[in-house]
Amino acid sequence: MPPATRRALILILLAGAVLRFVPIWFGLPYPQARPDEEVAIGLALKVLEGDLNPHFFHWPSLTFYLFAAVLGAADWVRALFGADAAMTFSVHALLTRGTIALCGTIAILVLFRLGRRIAGDVVGLLAAAFLAIALLHVRESHFAMTDVLMTLLLWTSLTFLVAAALADRPRTLVCAWAGLAGGLATSTKYNAGAVAIAMVATQIIWIWQRPSSALSWRMWMPSVVFGAVFLASFVAGTPYAVLDYSKFIEDLRYDFTHLSGGHNDIYLGRGWIYHATHSLPYGAGIATCAAALVGVWPFVRRHRRAAIVLGSFAVPFYLAVGSGYTVFFRYVLPLIPLICLLGAFGVVAASRWLADRAQVPHARVFALVCAIAIGPGLVYSIWFDVLLARTDTRVLAGEWLTPRLADGATLHDSGGPYT
Protein backbone atom coordinates (compact mmCIF):
# COMPACT_ATOMS: atom_id res chain seq x y z
CA MET A 1 0.00 0.00 0.00
CA PRO A 2 1.48 3.41 -0.95
CA PRO A 3 2.34 5.63 2.04
CA ALA A 4 -0.14 8.32 0.95
CA THR A 5 -2.95 5.76 0.82
CA ARG A 6 -1.99 4.41 4.23
CA ARG A 7 -2.01 7.89 5.77
CA ALA A 8 -5.37 8.74 4.24
CA LEU A 9 -6.86 5.46 5.41
CA ILE A 10 -5.59 6.00 8.96
CA LEU A 11 -7.18 9.47 9.03
CA ILE A 12 -10.49 8.08 7.76
CA LEU A 13 -10.45 5.27 10.33
CA LEU A 14 -9.62 7.69 13.14
CA ALA A 15 -12.43 10.03 12.11
CA GLY A 16 -14.85 7.12 11.84
CA ALA A 17 -13.80 5.80 15.23
CA VAL A 18 -14.27 9.18 16.94
CA LEU A 19 -17.73 9.58 15.42
CA ARG A 20 -18.68 6.09 16.68
CA PHE A 21 -17.09 6.02 20.13
CA VAL A 22 -18.17 9.53 21.12
CA PRO A 23 -20.39 9.53 23.12
CA ILE A 24 -21.07 5.85 23.88
CA TRP A 25 -21.80 6.92 27.46
CA PHE A 26 -25.03 8.66 26.38
CA GLY A 27 -28.08 8.19 28.59
CA LEU A 28 -26.28 6.36 31.37
CA PRO A 29 -27.00 5.20 34.01
CA TYR A 30 -30.57 4.79 32.72
CA PRO A 31 -31.20 1.42 31.03
CA GLN A 32 -33.67 2.49 28.33
CA ALA A 33 -31.90 5.46 26.79
CA ARG A 34 -31.80 3.20 23.74
CA PRO A 35 -34.70 0.72 24.00
CA ASP A 36 -33.81 -2.97 23.50
CA GLU A 37 -30.22 -2.61 24.71
CA GLU A 38 -31.32 -3.93 28.08
CA VAL A 39 -32.70 -7.02 26.30
CA ALA A 40 -29.43 -7.81 24.53
CA ILE A 41 -27.33 -7.16 27.64
CA GLY A 42 -29.77 -9.05 29.87
CA LEU A 43 -29.64 -12.13 27.65
CA ALA A 44 -25.83 -11.97 27.65
CA LEU A 45 -25.85 -11.92 31.46
CA LYS A 46 -28.11 -14.99 31.52
CA VAL A 47 -25.55 -16.78 29.36
CA LEU A 48 -22.89 -15.93 31.96
CA GLU A 49 -25.17 -17.36 34.64
CA GLY A 50 -25.08 -20.70 32.83
CA ASP A 51 -28.23 -20.77 30.69
CA LEU A 52 -26.95 -20.93 27.12
CA ASN A 53 -30.47 -21.09 25.71
CA PRO A 54 -31.71 -17.49 25.32
CA HIS A 55 -35.34 -18.65 25.03
CA PHE A 56 -35.60 -15.70 22.65
CA PHE A 57 -35.29 -15.92 18.87
CA HIS A 58 -36.68 -12.64 17.56
CA TRP A 59 -32.99 -12.03 16.93
CA PRO A 60 -30.41 -14.79 16.45
CA SER A 61 -28.07 -15.48 19.34
CA LEU A 62 -24.54 -14.61 18.20
CA THR A 63 -24.72 -11.07 19.55
CA PHE A 64 -25.70 -12.33 23.01
CA TYR A 65 -22.80 -14.78 23.07
CA LEU A 66 -20.37 -12.09 21.90
CA PHE A 67 -21.57 -9.72 24.61
CA ALA A 68 -21.33 -12.52 27.17
CA ALA A 69 -17.73 -13.15 26.11
CA VAL A 70 -16.87 -9.45 26.43
CA LEU A 71 -18.54 -9.10 29.83
CA GLY A 72 -17.04 -12.37 31.03
CA ALA A 73 -13.56 -11.24 29.99
CA ALA A 74 -14.09 -7.96 31.82
CA ASP A 75 -15.14 -9.83 34.97
CA TRP A 76 -12.03 -12.00 34.71
CA VAL A 77 -9.77 -8.94 34.41
CA ARG A 78 -11.50 -7.29 37.36
CA ALA A 79 -11.00 -10.44 39.43
CA LEU A 80 -7.28 -10.33 38.68
CA PHE A 81 -7.14 -6.92 40.31
CA GLY A 82 -9.25 -7.99 43.27
CA ALA A 83 -12.43 -6.06 42.42
CA ASP A 84 -15.36 -7.36 44.44
CA ALA A 85 -18.36 -5.23 43.51
CA ALA A 86 -20.49 -6.43 40.62
CA MET A 87 -20.43 -4.41 37.43
CA THR A 88 -23.30 -1.96 37.03
CA PHE A 89 -25.53 -1.61 33.98
CA SER A 90 -23.51 1.45 33.00
CA VAL A 91 -20.32 -0.62 32.81
CA HIS A 92 -22.13 -3.36 30.88
CA ALA A 93 -23.45 -0.77 28.43
CA LEU A 94 -20.06 0.88 27.93
CA LEU A 95 -18.37 -2.44 27.21
CA THR A 96 -21.01 -3.71 24.80
CA ARG A 97 -21.48 -0.36 23.08
CA GLY A 98 -17.72 -0.13 22.73
CA THR A 99 -17.68 -3.55 21.09
CA ILE A 100 -20.23 -2.44 18.52
CA ALA A 101 -18.43 0.87 17.93
CA LEU A 102 -15.29 -1.14 17.19
CA CYS A 103 -17.24 -3.34 14.75
CA GLY A 104 -18.52 -0.21 13.02
CA THR A 105 -14.98 1.12 12.67
CA ILE A 106 -13.70 -2.18 11.27
CA ALA A 107 -16.51 -2.10 8.70
CA ILE A 108 -14.90 1.03 7.24
CA LEU A 109 -11.68 -0.93 6.68
CA VAL A 110 -13.59 -3.82 5.09
CA LEU A 111 -15.28 -1.47 2.61
CA PHE A 112 -11.93 0.11 1.77
CA ARG A 113 -10.51 -3.29 0.93
CA LEU A 114 -13.53 -4.12 -1.23
CA GLY A 115 -13.40 -0.83 -3.12
CA ARG A 116 -9.66 -1.14 -3.57
CA ARG A 117 -10.03 -4.69 -4.88
CA ILE A 118 -12.60 -3.59 -7.43
CA ALA A 119 -11.21 -0.28 -8.69
CA GLY A 120 -8.09 0.81 -6.82
CA ASP A 121 -7.03 3.01 -3.93
CA VAL A 122 -9.05 6.12 -4.80
CA VAL A 123 -12.38 4.32 -4.92
CA GLY A 124 -11.49 2.37 -1.78
CA LEU A 125 -10.63 5.50 0.17
CA LEU A 126 -13.71 7.39 -1.03
CA ALA A 127 -16.02 4.49 -0.16
CA ALA A 128 -14.43 4.25 3.29
CA ALA A 129 -14.79 8.01 3.79
CA PHE A 130 -18.46 7.92 2.85
CA LEU A 131 -19.10 5.09 5.30
CA ALA A 132 -17.11 6.81 8.04
CA ILE A 133 -19.53 9.76 7.98
CA ALA A 134 -22.76 7.95 6.99
CA LEU A 135 -25.25 9.10 9.63
CA LEU A 136 -27.18 5.84 9.95
CA HIS A 137 -24.02 3.78 10.35
CA VAL A 138 -22.63 6.30 12.84
CA ARG A 139 -25.86 6.28 14.82
CA GLU A 140 -26.25 2.52 15.00
CA SER A 141 -22.58 2.08 15.94
CA HIS A 142 -23.37 3.70 19.30
CA PHE A 143 -25.91 1.06 20.29
CA ALA A 144 -25.37 -2.36 21.89
CA MET A 145 -27.54 -4.03 19.27
CA THR A 146 -27.29 -6.45 16.36
CA ASP A 147 -27.33 -4.34 13.20
CA VAL A 148 -23.74 -3.06 12.98
CA LEU A 149 -22.22 -6.44 13.80
CA MET A 150 -24.40 -8.07 11.16
CA THR A 151 -23.43 -5.46 8.57
CA LEU A 152 -19.72 -5.99 9.27
CA LEU A 153 -19.97 -9.76 8.88
CA LEU A 154 -22.23 -9.48 5.84
CA TRP A 155 -19.88 -7.19 3.95
CA THR A 156 -16.93 -9.33 4.93
CA SER A 157 -18.72 -12.21 3.23
CA LEU A 158 -19.51 -10.09 0.16
CA THR A 159 -15.88 -8.96 -0.04
CA PHE A 160 -14.76 -12.58 -0.22
CA LEU A 161 -17.43 -13.38 -2.84
CA VAL A 162 -16.38 -10.45 -5.03
CA ALA A 163 -12.77 -11.65 -4.77
CA ALA A 164 -13.93 -15.12 -5.81
CA ALA A 165 -15.91 -13.75 -8.76
CA LEU A 166 -12.93 -11.70 -9.97
CA ALA A 167 -10.55 -14.67 -9.75
CA ASP A 168 -9.50 -16.55 -12.87
CA ARG A 169 -11.05 -19.79 -11.57
CA PRO A 170 -13.37 -20.98 -8.78
CA ARG A 171 -11.80 -20.51 -5.33
CA THR A 172 -12.98 -23.00 -2.75
CA LEU A 173 -11.08 -21.56 0.22
CA VAL A 174 -12.26 -18.02 -0.48
CA CYS A 175 -15.84 -19.26 -0.65
CA ALA A 176 -15.36 -21.10 2.64
CA TRP A 177 -14.40 -17.81 4.29
CA ALA A 178 -17.39 -16.15 2.63
CA GLY A 179 -19.65 -18.88 3.98
CA LEU A 180 -18.21 -18.50 7.47
CA ALA A 181 -18.77 -14.73 7.55
CA GLY A 182 -22.18 -15.05 5.89
CA GLY A 183 -23.37 -17.70 8.31
CA LEU A 184 -22.23 -15.66 11.29
CA ALA A 185 -23.96 -12.59 9.82
CA THR A 186 -27.20 -14.56 9.53
CA SER A 187 -26.66 -15.75 13.09
CA THR A 188 -26.64 -12.07 14.06
CA LYS A 189 -29.71 -11.03 12.07
CA TYR A 190 -31.77 -13.36 9.91
CA ASN A 191 -32.11 -11.20 6.81
CA ALA A 192 -28.35 -11.41 6.22
CA GLY A 193 -29.16 -14.82 4.73
CA ALA A 194 -29.69 -12.95 1.45
CA VAL A 195 -25.92 -13.14 1.02
CA ALA A 196 -26.40 -16.73 -0.15
CA ILE A 197 -27.94 -15.33 -3.34
CA ALA A 198 -24.62 -13.61 -4.03
CA MET A 199 -22.96 -17.03 -3.90
CA VAL A 200 -25.44 -18.23 -6.52
CA ALA A 201 -24.53 -15.25 -8.70
CA THR A 202 -20.83 -16.01 -8.28
CA GLN A 203 -21.43 -19.59 -9.37
CA ILE A 204 -23.31 -18.38 -12.45
CA ILE A 205 -20.38 -16.11 -13.35
CA TRP A 206 -17.99 -19.07 -13.22
CA ILE A 207 -20.25 -21.21 -15.40
CA TRP A 208 -20.64 -18.37 -17.88
CA GLN A 209 -16.85 -18.04 -18.10
CA ARG A 210 -16.25 -21.79 -18.41
CA PRO A 211 -19.36 -23.46 -19.83
CA SER A 212 -17.35 -26.56 -20.76
CA SER A 213 -16.70 -27.21 -17.05
CA ALA A 214 -20.32 -26.81 -15.96
CA LEU A 215 -20.68 -30.50 -15.13
CA SER A 216 -17.35 -30.82 -13.34
CA TRP A 217 -17.48 -31.37 -9.60
CA ARG A 218 -14.61 -28.93 -9.22
CA MET A 219 -16.82 -26.19 -10.65
CA TRP A 220 -19.47 -26.76 -7.99
CA MET A 221 -17.25 -27.51 -5.01
CA PRO A 222 -16.92 -23.84 -3.88
CA SER A 223 -20.71 -23.49 -3.69
CA VAL A 224 -21.05 -26.73 -1.77
CA VAL A 225 -18.36 -25.65 0.68
CA PHE A 226 -19.95 -22.21 1.03
CA GLY A 227 -23.32 -23.77 1.83
CA ALA A 228 -21.91 -26.25 4.33
CA VAL A 229 -19.80 -23.66 6.17
CA PHE A 230 -22.67 -21.16 6.06
CA LEU A 231 -25.08 -23.57 7.76
CA ALA A 232 -22.48 -24.74 10.26
CA SER A 233 -21.54 -21.20 11.30
CA PHE A 234 -25.20 -20.17 11.59
CA VAL A 235 -25.92 -23.11 13.89
CA ALA A 236 -22.72 -22.46 15.84
CA GLY A 237 -23.88 -18.90 16.49
CA THR A 238 -27.51 -19.82 17.18
CA PRO A 239 -27.38 -23.46 18.31
CA TYR A 240 -30.77 -23.41 19.97
CA ALA A 241 -32.41 -22.77 16.62
CA VAL A 242 -31.97 -26.54 16.38
CA LEU A 243 -32.03 -27.53 20.04
CA ASP A 244 -35.15 -25.45 20.82
CA TYR A 245 -36.70 -25.63 17.38
CA SER A 246 -40.32 -25.02 18.38
CA LYS A 247 -39.52 -21.72 20.15
CA PHE A 248 -37.25 -20.71 17.28
CA ILE A 249 -40.04 -21.20 14.73
CA GLU A 250 -42.57 -19.44 16.97
CA ASP A 251 -40.44 -16.30 17.26
CA LEU A 252 -39.46 -16.38 13.60
CA ARG A 253 -43.11 -16.44 12.56
CA TYR A 254 -43.79 -13.46 14.80
CA ASP A 255 -40.95 -11.55 13.13
CA PHE A 256 -42.47 -12.08 9.68
CA THR A 257 -45.87 -10.96 10.95
CA HIS A 258 -44.37 -7.91 12.65
CA LEU A 259 -42.47 -6.88 9.51
CA SER A 260 -45.51 -7.17 7.27
CA GLY A 261 -48.08 -5.64 9.62
CA GLY A 262 -46.35 -2.53 10.96
CA HIS A 263 -45.03 -1.58 14.39
CA ASN A 264 -47.49 -0.55 17.12
CA ASP A 265 -50.08 0.67 14.59
CA ILE A 266 -47.64 3.21 13.14
CA TYR A 267 -48.32 3.51 9.41
CA LEU A 268 -45.65 5.16 7.26
CA GLY A 269 -46.35 3.32 4.04
CA ARG A 270 -44.77 0.24 2.56
CA GLY A 271 -41.04 -0.07 2.97
CA TRP A 272 -40.20 -0.09 -0.74
CA ILE A 273 -41.24 3.56 -0.97
CA TYR A 274 -40.37 4.73 2.53
CA HIS A 275 -36.82 3.38 2.51
CA ALA A 276 -36.14 4.89 -0.93
CA THR A 277 -37.47 8.31 0.05
CA HIS A 278 -36.38 8.47 3.69
CA SER A 279 -34.16 5.72 5.12
CA LEU A 280 -31.51 5.60 2.40
CA PRO A 281 -31.24 9.33 1.57
CA TYR A 282 -31.02 10.38 5.20
CA GLY A 283 -29.17 7.27 6.37
CA ALA A 284 -26.34 7.53 3.84
CA GLY A 285 -26.69 11.27 3.24
CA ILE A 286 -28.45 13.05 0.40
CA ALA A 287 -25.15 14.08 -1.19
CA THR A 288 -23.83 10.51 -0.95
CA CYS A 289 -27.02 9.14 -2.51
CA ALA A 290 -26.79 11.67 -5.33
CA ALA A 291 -23.21 10.59 -5.98
CA ALA A 292 -24.32 6.96 -5.84
CA LEU A 293 -26.91 7.54 -8.57
CA VAL A 294 -24.17 9.00 -10.75
CA GLY A 295 -21.91 6.06 -9.95
CA VAL A 296 -24.29 3.23 -10.84
CA TRP A 297 -23.60 3.21 -14.57
CA PRO A 298 -19.76 3.51 -14.36
CA PHE A 299 -19.73 0.71 -11.80
CA VAL A 300 -21.95 -1.63 -13.81
CA ARG A 301 -20.24 -0.85 -17.13
CA ARG A 302 -16.64 -1.26 -15.98
CA HIS A 303 -16.93 -3.81 -13.17
CA ARG A 304 -19.69 -6.12 -14.29
CA ARG A 305 -18.80 -9.16 -12.23
CA ALA A 306 -18.59 -7.22 -8.97
CA ALA A 307 -21.84 -5.45 -9.86
CA ILE A 308 -23.60 -8.78 -10.42
CA VAL A 309 -22.43 -10.19 -7.09
CA LEU A 310 -23.35 -7.11 -5.06
CA GLY A 311 -26.57 -6.47 -6.96
CA SER A 312 -27.72 -10.05 -6.52
CA PHE A 313 -27.59 -9.46 -2.78
CA ALA A 314 -28.88 -5.89 -2.66
CA VAL A 315 -31.99 -6.22 -4.82
CA PRO A 316 -33.53 -9.25 -3.03
CA PHE A 317 -32.55 -7.77 0.34
CA TYR A 318 -34.27 -4.49 -0.45
CA LEU A 319 -37.38 -6.24 -1.75
CA ALA A 320 -37.53 -8.28 1.46
CA VAL A 321 -37.07 -5.47 3.99
CA GLY A 322 -39.34 -3.20 1.97
CA SER A 323 -42.19 -5.66 1.64
CA GLY A 324 -43.88 -4.75 4.91
CA TYR A 325 -45.06 -1.75 6.89
CA THR A 326 -42.47 -1.91 9.69
CA VAL A 327 -39.90 0.55 8.37
CA PHE A 328 -37.21 1.28 10.93
CA PHE A 329 -34.26 3.11 9.35
CA ARG A 330 -31.87 0.48 10.70
CA TYR A 331 -33.43 -2.18 8.45
CA VAL A 332 -31.53 -0.77 5.45
CA LEU A 333 -28.20 -0.46 7.27
CA PRO A 334 -26.65 -3.34 5.24
CA LEU A 335 -27.31 -1.33 2.05
CA ILE A 336 -25.45 1.76 3.27
CA PRO A 337 -21.98 0.37 2.35
CA LEU A 338 -23.23 -0.26 -1.20
CA ILE A 339 -24.48 3.33 -1.44
CA CYS A 340 -21.06 4.47 -0.21
CA LEU A 341 -19.26 2.32 -2.78
CA LEU A 342 -21.44 3.61 -5.61
CA GLY A 343 -20.94 7.14 -4.30
CA ALA A 344 -17.19 6.68 -4.67
CA PHE A 345 -17.62 5.73 -8.33
CA GLY A 346 -19.94 8.70 -8.77
CA VAL A 347 -17.43 11.18 -7.37
CA VAL A 348 -14.66 9.83 -9.60
CA ALA A 349 -16.88 9.90 -12.71
CA ALA A 350 -18.36 13.34 -11.99
CA SER A 351 -14.99 14.96 -11.27
CA ARG A 352 -13.49 13.59 -14.48
CA TRP A 353 -16.45 14.76 -16.54
CA LEU A 354 -16.44 18.24 -15.00
CA ALA A 355 -12.67 18.63 -15.33
CA ASP A 356 -12.80 17.67 -19.01
CA ARG A 357 -15.68 20.05 -19.76
CA ALA A 358 -14.29 23.00 -17.80
CA GLN A 359 -10.68 22.45 -18.85
CA VAL A 360 -9.64 22.66 -15.19
CA PRO A 361 -6.98 20.48 -13.51
CA HIS A 362 -8.62 17.27 -12.39
CA ALA A 363 -7.15 17.41 -8.87
CA ARG A 364 -8.93 20.70 -8.11
CA VAL A 365 -12.27 19.50 -9.39
CA PHE A 366 -11.87 16.20 -7.57
CA ALA A 367 -11.18 17.98 -4.27
CA LEU A 368 -14.21 20.23 -4.76
CA VAL A 369 -16.56 17.34 -5.58
CA CYS A 370 -15.25 15.36 -2.58
CA ALA A 371 -15.91 18.32 -0.28
CA ILE A 372 -19.45 18.75 -1.63
CA ALA A 373 -20.20 15.03 -1.32
CA ILE A 374 -18.59 14.35 2.06
CA GLY A 375 -19.02 17.66 3.89
CA PRO A 376 -22.77 17.50 4.67
CA GLY A 377 -22.60 13.96 6.04
CA LEU A 378 -19.68 14.87 8.28
CA VAL A 379 -21.57 17.88 9.66
CA TYR A 380 -24.73 15.87 10.31
CA SER A 381 -22.82 13.09 12.07
CA ILE A 382 -21.02 15.61 14.29
CA TRP A 383 -24.35 17.24 15.11
CA PHE A 384 -25.77 13.84 15.99
CA ASP A 385 -22.93 13.14 18.42
CA VAL A 386 -23.36 16.56 20.00
CA LEU A 387 -27.08 15.92 20.44
CA LEU A 388 -26.48 12.43 21.84
CA ALA A 389 -24.02 13.82 24.40
CA ARG A 390 -26.66 16.11 25.86
CA THR A 391 -28.77 15.12 28.85
CA ASP A 392 -31.77 13.03 27.80
CA THR A 393 -34.94 15.14 27.69
CA ARG A 394 -36.72 12.55 29.83
CA VAL A 395 -34.13 13.14 32.53
CA LEU A 396 -34.51 16.89 32.17
CA ALA A 397 -38.27 16.54 32.50
CA GLY A 398 -37.86 14.45 35.65
CA GLU A 399 -35.40 16.92 37.16
CA TRP A 400 -37.83 19.77 36.51
CA LEU A 401 -40.86 17.89 37.81
CA THR A 402 -39.46 16.33 40.99
CA PRO A 403 -39.13 19.49 43.13
CA ARG A 404 -42.54 20.66 41.95
CA LEU A 405 -44.43 17.58 43.15
CA ALA A 406 -45.97 17.99 46.60
CA ASP A 407 -46.37 15.01 48.94
CA GLY A 408 -49.45 13.02 47.95
CA ALA A 409 -49.69 14.62 44.50
CA THR A 410 -51.17 12.55 41.68
CA LEU A 411 -49.18 12.24 38.46
CA HIS A 412 -50.69 11.13 35.16
CA ASP A 413 -48.27 9.45 32.75
CA SER A 414 -49.73 9.24 29.26
CA GLY A 415 -46.57 7.84 27.68
CA GLY A 416 -45.33 4.36 26.93
CA PRO A 417 -42.81 2.02 28.54
CA TYR A 418 -39.84 4.22 27.63
CA THR A 419 -40.91 7.27 29.65
The pLDDT mean for the chain works out to 92
Is residue 219 within 8 A of residue 213, CB to CB? The reply is yes
Helices and strands: H and E segment counts in the chain = 19, 0
- Chain segment 226-247, per-residue pLDDT in tens: 999 999 999 999 999 999 999 9
Is residue 126 within 8 A of residue 81, CB to CB? The reply is no
Pick from 141-150, 331-340, 363-372, 401-410: least confident: 401-410
| Per-residue pLDDT at 296 | 97
Flag whether pLDDT at 413 surpasses 80: no
pTM value is 0.93
In the structure, what pLDDT confidence band is assigned to residue 263 with cuts at 50, 70 and 90?
Answer: low
In the structure, what pLDDT confidence band is assigned to residue 265 with cuts at 50, 70 and 90?
Answer: low
Flag whether pLDDT at 137 surpasses 70: yes
Q: What are phi and psi of 233, to 5 degrees?
A: -75, -30
| Per-residue pLDDT at 327 | 82
Could you tell me the sign of the dihedral formed by the alpha carbons of 167, 169, 170, 171, in that order? Answer: negative
Instruction: Please measure the distance between the N-terminal and C-terminal CA atoms of the chain and give it in whole angstroms.
Output: 51
Provide the 10 A C-beta neighbour count for residue 7: 11
263 - beta bridge partners?
A: 266
Pick from 179-193, 215-229, 233-247, 400-414: least confident: 400-414
Residues 332-336: what's their mean pLDDT? 97
Those residues with Cβ within 8 angstroms of residue 304's Cβ, 6 or more apart along the chain or in another chain: none
Nearest-angstrom CA–CA distance, 190 and 185: 8
Nearest-angstrom CA–CA distance, 169 and 219: 9
Is residue 165 within 8 A of residue 117, CB to CB? The reply is no
Nearest-angstrom CA–CA distance, 52 and 45: 10
Nearest-angstrom CA–CA distance, 36 and 66: 16
Alpha-carbon radius of gyration of the chain? 23
| Per-residue pLDDT at 26 | 94
Q: Give, as one character, the DSSP assignment of residue 187.
A: T
- Chain segment 337-362, per-residue pLDDT in tens: 999 999 999 999 999 999 888 888 88
Cβ-in-10-Å burial (0-12, 13-18, 19+) of 101 comes to buried
In the structure, what pLDDT confidence band is assigned to residue 290 with cuts at 50, 70 and 90?
Answer: very high
In the structure, what pLDDT confidence band is assigned to residue 118 with cuts at 50, 70 and 90?
Answer: very high
Pick from 154-158, 276-280, 380-384: least confident: 276-280
97: closest CA among 127, 66, 134? 66
- Chain segment 141-178, per-residue pLDDT in tens: 999 999 999 999 999 999 999 999 998 888 899 999 99
Cα 41 → chain centroid:
19
| Per-residue pLDDT at 245 | 92
- Chain segment 42-88, per-residue pLDDT in tens: 999 999 999 999 999 999 999 999 999 999 999 888 888 877 778 89
| Per-residue pLDDT at 24 | 95
Flag whether pLDDT at 418 surpasses 60: no
266 - beta bridge partners?
A: 263
Please give the C-alpha separations between residue 333 and each of 22, 140, 198, 256, 390, in angstroms, as whole numbers: 20, 9, 18, 19, 25
Flag whether pLDDT at 254 surpasses 70: yes
| Per-residue pLDDT at 416 | 66
Is residue 57 within 8 A of residue 248, CB to CB? The reply is yes
